A and B are shown apart, each in its own frame.
Chain A
Amino acid sequence: MLDTLDYIESYFAGRCTDAERQQFEERCVRDEAFAQEVALYIQSRQVLKEELLAAKKAVWAPAGPKRQKPGLVRTLYIASAAAAVLVLFCLYLVTRSATPGQLAGDYVRTHYDQLSQTLDGTRDSLAQGITAYNHRAFDQALDFFTALAHDHAGNTDARLYSGLAYLRLKNYDQALHEFDTLANMSSLYSNPGPFLKAVTLLERNAAGDRETARVLLQDVVRRNLDGSREAAVWLKKI
């Protein structure tokens, strides 16, 4: 029995190889007695966690959580709002004279400097690609994203991230290809493909790019797609 418990503990501690994990999971399905041992182990850990959390709360906030005074919160909100207005005004002064290429570049740096990561970035190729992207290893990130897009043609994230990685590497032709494919995927509720195509064209700024980008941005605004707010602002500047 200790061996079984040690085996179960090793699985949840992440000490098993992929093959061992698979064997463990298959055994849960075919061996109910074993599944019961796993269920009991999981529930024991759950109860322990509840007790631990109660103990931590008693140390961290023995009198319970602090309640914030409404006056202080209101003051902070007003101060934040005033600061936000000031920042926006400064941004307006700075960006009104920005070139289309600068607008596009700033947008990518602001919105796609880092990709959202799950807590455990080790398990699947998308997460590994994101980790590489966030460490600015765009070539390595592309290996993961393009492989995933190849194996799962309907994976919109893989297509989006491939395009972004190409864009960061200034490989505009490939970026446009990825965003164009993304734009033609009907499964997305709000498709960022057309707007990102426009961003790529503005950054590349080759002959005719600005005009093509303008048409794309007008379409984004008309259809209220992802990026429509920026598109409406940029159309006044380009």
Chain B
Amino acid sequence: MEKDREILAGLQTGPGERASWELQFYRRYEYFIGQGCRKYRLSTEDSFSAYSDALLSAIQNIASGRFDGSCSLKTYLFKIFSNKCIDQIRKNAMNKATVHHSVASPELLTQLSDKARSAVELLIHRNKIETLREYMGKLGEKCRELLLHFEDGFSDKDIAEKMDYNSPAVVKTTRLRCIERLRELMKDTLKTI
């Protein structure tokens, strides 16, 4: 329990030490991977993917203050991990049934209402995610690094410190411009009426 408290506190400190606490958190519950293999009959690689994904979600929730501490860190992480294992089983089942690799439904979709989700999901299936991945690589290293820090849950203030920007406002504008540049690259392949 003491170790868990240390990890929780460590993850909520600034960006400088977070990587080290993330690694400690990973190692502390690494045995979940074996449990994922046994309980859900996943391969080691799939269970490892589910565990890493769960850990990332947990870390982001903890760092942003969304973890309310109503259960232990282990229980919290295992709940997320179990859901990720089930997602992995579904993904494996879908991949077997289709010729091409299926793309899992993005998590952000679940935040939309049912009607909005249907409208957006239709367009997501039309867009070619492989093309998007390719264009993401063309954004430039600085854009990519900034966007990855944002996706990792760091605030604009943290990113400004890490990447030597003048202010959080500059980080925000730069980030939105990076996404706008991606949109321009995708313009020809976007399916609009």
Contacts and interface: CB of A to CB of B under 8 A. Distances in A.
Interface stretch (A116-124, A187-195, A196-204): A116-124
Contact of B180 (A2, A11, A55): A2
A12 interface: yes
A65 B186 CA distance: 36
Contact of B151 (A6, A9, A28, A49): A49
Specify which of B23, B56, B116, B132 lies most central, judged by the most chain A CB atoms within 10 Å of its CB. Answer: B116
Contact of B120 (A28, A48, A121): A28
Contacts of A59: 19, 22-23
B118 to A, nearest CB: 8
A186 B129 CA distance: 46
A132 to B, nearest CB: 11
Contacts of A64: 45, 48
B148 A52 contact: yes
Task: Give chain B's interface residue range (CB within 8 Å of chain A).
Answer: 35 or more
A164 B183 CA distance: 52
Task: Give chain A's interface residue range (CB within 8 Å of chain B).
Answer: 35 or more
A134 interface: yes
B167 to A, nearest CB: 16
Contacts of B19: 59
Interface of B: 19, 22-23, 26, 30-31, 33-34, 44-45, 47-49, 51-53, 55-56, 61, 66, 68, 70-71, 79-80, 106-109, 111-113, 115-116, 119-121, 123-124, 127, 129, 132-133, 136, 144, 147-148, 150-152, 172-173, 176-177, 179-180, 182-183, 186, 190-193
Interface of A: 1-2, 5-6, 9, 11-12, 22, 24-26, 28-29, 32-33, 35-53, 55-57, 59-61, 64-68, 73, 114, 117, 119-121, 131, 134-135
